[in-house]
Structure 1
Amino acid sequence: MNVIIIEDEKPSARRLQRMLKSLNLNADTMLHSVEESIKWFQNNQHPDLIFLDIQLSDGLSFEIFEAIAIKSAIIFTTAYDEYALQAFKLNSIDYLLKPIDDNELSVAVKKYQNLIPQQQAVTLDFNDIKKLLINPIDREYKKRFSVRVGQHLKLINIDEIECVYSENKGTYIHTTEGRNYLLDTTLEHLEDELEPDTFFRISRKFFVNINAIKDMVSYTNSRLQIKLKSYRGQDVIVARERVKDFKAWLE
């Protein structure tokens, strides 16, 4: 089976690739933008199955289908549920909300595998989509962290965290009390654990809590600088390629 992943966040793409490998599916091709995907489809045999994010770095993935006639089956993988009806019009097998759950991914893959012998275009059941839109899947996100303080462990609730940042190869949280604590994890691993309505990854170095933002000012090269309520460490800068998504997240 020929499988590809279209996802602009490379850590998320690699995570999905690993999840698929555990299901005995090899997704060796990973594309990261609308433009790159169109060029790839123009020069390569179309796959059996596409795992497709909707919001890519240079636009919505639906633009790919406006440029290229694609008959591959699709499993959508996205953080947004408002595009489900639009996805319904394509060869959709399933519509998975991020962070992707292992069991839901397995069910979606089995749904596709069960439909292969029929050799026909497959779409989501409209009632399933309606149910998804009315009752979005409840996700379990991180509620607290345990950090080591000397010989003791301290619990820090998620609403006490202003930002999560990387520095000198370590990952730290900064709390509303103005304290910094080292975590035994990475920012990439936290992408699927932090509640996306509250935390946004503004760059390779920072997640910020929307409730901790004190001010935002223009910065060089079309970037933004964030002022947090108590954090006074390295500059908190929204990467240029993240500014558009960050502004949308704020709203």
Structure 2
Amino acid sequence: MNVIIVEDEKPAARLLQRKLDKLGIATATMLHSVEEAIQWFSSNAHPDLIFLDIQLSDGLSFEIFDAVPINSAVIFTTAYDEYALRAFKLNSIDYLLKPIDEDELEAAVRKYRERAPQPQNLSLDFEQIKRMLVNPAEKAYKKRFTIKMGQHLKMINIEDVECFFSENKGTYLHTYDNRDYLLDCTLEQLENELDPSEFYRVSRKFIIPMKAIKDIVVYTNSRLKVILPTYKDDEVIVSRERVNDFREWLG
């Protein structure tokens, strides 16, 4: 299988490459911009499969298809919410929601392989997809949460959130006054509602805001431990595969 990755964030591209390596899939090359991709596709044999980010540093990746006819199969890697992703389903495109889960990645590759004997046909309505996408610069992120407490509703502003965490199949909001509130959503759903420049999912269990980081300590197995102001119930560990991306996020 001949695979390439088109992703403007180099740490994310390397992370995806490592996950593909675990599946025994070698990556032929990595491209990081619309311009670079157009030049590459114009002068090289096209791959069997493309892992394609939506928002690249110099524009939407759909511009690549406008410039060069491509017949490769595509798996989109995206941070867009479920409303935009409906477009991909309508067009029979597979997609992976960032951060990419290894089990979902394996399932997507399996899906491709099951369809591989059939001729690939990218008769995709990219204009429809673009219309359904929200420009990240214009996206309205979550500003507050409404918590039901008995017969009362409590409003919690995003500035008061020290972290989000999952426990016993529940998702909780932890505030700077050291209180926990149960939310009616998952961490995956929260990721799409939070400003990615301010919040980062350090592991499967935690999403933290940058301003809540009190200290960062080198931990075992090349991981990092984040110290928060009041949350002490469990260690907040940056998983090893996210360390490089976490450092990039910190700037």
TM tier, smaller: 0.5 to 0.7
1:82 counterpart (54, 57, 79):
57
* 1:171 and 1:182 in contact (8 A); partners too: yes
Q: Which runs of 5+ in 2 are unaligned?
A: 8-16, 71-75, 94-120
Aligned-partner Cα distance in 1 for 2:138–2:188: 22
Report whether the alignment pairs 1:39 with 2:39: no
Secondary structure at the aligned position of 2:214 is classed as strand
Q: Residue 160 and residue 197 in structure 1: after superposition, are their counterparts in 2 closer, same or farther (change >3 A)?
A: same
| 1:102 partner amino acid | Y
Aligned-partner Cα distance in 1 for 2:48–2:173: 43
Aligned-partner Cα distance in 2 for 1:85–1:189: 23
Give the aligned partner of residue 143 of structure 2.
143
Aligned-partner Cα distance in 1 for 2:6–2:235: 28
1:179 to partner: Cα distance = 1.2
1:144 to partner: Cα distance = 1.1
Report whether the alignment pairs 1:168 with 2:149: no
Q: Residue 105 and residue 214 in structure 1: after superposition, are their counterparts in 2 closer, same or farther (change >3 A)?
A: same
Aligned-partner Cα distance in 2 for 1:54–1:99: 21
Q: So what's the TM-score if we normalise by structure 2?
A: 0.57
Identity %: 40
Aligned-partner Cα distance in 2 for 1:159–1:239: 25
Aligned-partner Cα distance in 2 for 1:88–1:38: 30
1:106 counterpart (87, 111, 125):
87
1:184 to partner: Cα distance = 1.2
Secondary structure at the aligned position of 2:227 is classed as strand
How many residue pairs get matched? 190
1:77 to partner: Cα distance = 3.5
- How far does the alpha carbon of each residue in 1:184-232 deviate from its partner, in whole angstroms, 9 at most, with x for none? 1111221211111111000010000101000000111000000012212
1:164 to partner: Cα distance = 0.2
* 1:147 and 1:183 in contact (8 A); partners too: yes
1:73 to partner: Cα distance = 9.7
Q: So what's the TM-score if we normalise by structure 1?
A: 0.57
Aligned-partner Cα distance in 2 for 1:136–1:166: 26
1:69 counterpart (25, 42, 45):
45
Question: 1:1-251 residue pairs with structure 2 within 5 A?
Answer: 33-35=19-21, 39=25, 69-70=45-46, 76-78=52-54, 81-82=56-57, 84=59, 91=68, 98-100=79-81, 102=83, 106=87, 137-251=137-251
Secondary structure at the aligned position of 2:154 is classed as strand
- How far does the alpha carbon of each residue in 1:113-143 deviate from its partner, in whole angstroms, 9 at most, with x for none? xxxxxx9999x9xxx9xxxxxx864112211
1:246 to partner: Cα distance = 0.6
1:70 to partner: Cα distance = 2.2
Aligned-partner Cα distance in 2 for 1:207–1:245: 14
What RMSD over aligned residues (CA atoms) do the two structures have, in Å? 4.7
Q: Residue 105 and residue 38 in structure 1: after superposition, are their counterparts in 2 closer, same or farther (change >3 A)?
A: farther
Q: Which runs of 5+ in 1 are unaligned?
A: 1-5, 9-30, 43-52, 56-61, 113-118, 129-134
Give the aligned partner of residue 102 of structure 2.
none
